[in-house]
Amino acid sequence: MHSLAINPVLALNVECTDDEILVALTDGRKLTVPIVWFPRLAKASSKERANYELLGNGQGIHWPQLDEDISVFGLLAGKRSVEFESGQ
């Protein structure tokens, strides 16, 4: 029986514009999602958006000044912020 080792796709780099969040992934893809999906980021200054940390070797992205956390898995699944979903 063979076991299949699955390497998770991780974030390498993150950039935010006024319209999009761009995430460079370890598998070579670049993921782009609308920033409006994450209201805290959409309302933040460019300086606040640039201040992020990669969590778990890139499994997640954390913006300490904004108390925003986004998982790469969630982004790949098209998951939006709960705040966006509730219309706040």
What are the boundaries of each domain within the chain? Answer: 11-85
* % of the chain surpassing 90 pLDDT: 83
12: its two tokens: 């390498």
pLDDT of residue 88: 55
pLDDT single digits (tens) 27-60: 999 999 999 999 999 999 999 999 999 999 999 9
Q: How confident is the prediction for the chain on average, in pLDDT?
A: 93
pTM value surpassing 0.85: yes
Identity of residue 76: L
Identity of residue 88: Q
pLDDT higher than 70, residue 82: yes
Identity of residue 24: A
Q: State which CATH number among 3.40.47.10, 3.30.2020.40, 3.50.50.60, 3.90.420.10 fits the domain covering 11-85.
A: 3.30.2020.40
Terminal-to-terminal C-alpha distance of the chain: 50
How many Å apart are CA 32 and CA 41, to the nearest integer? 14
pLDDT higher than 80, residue 65: yes
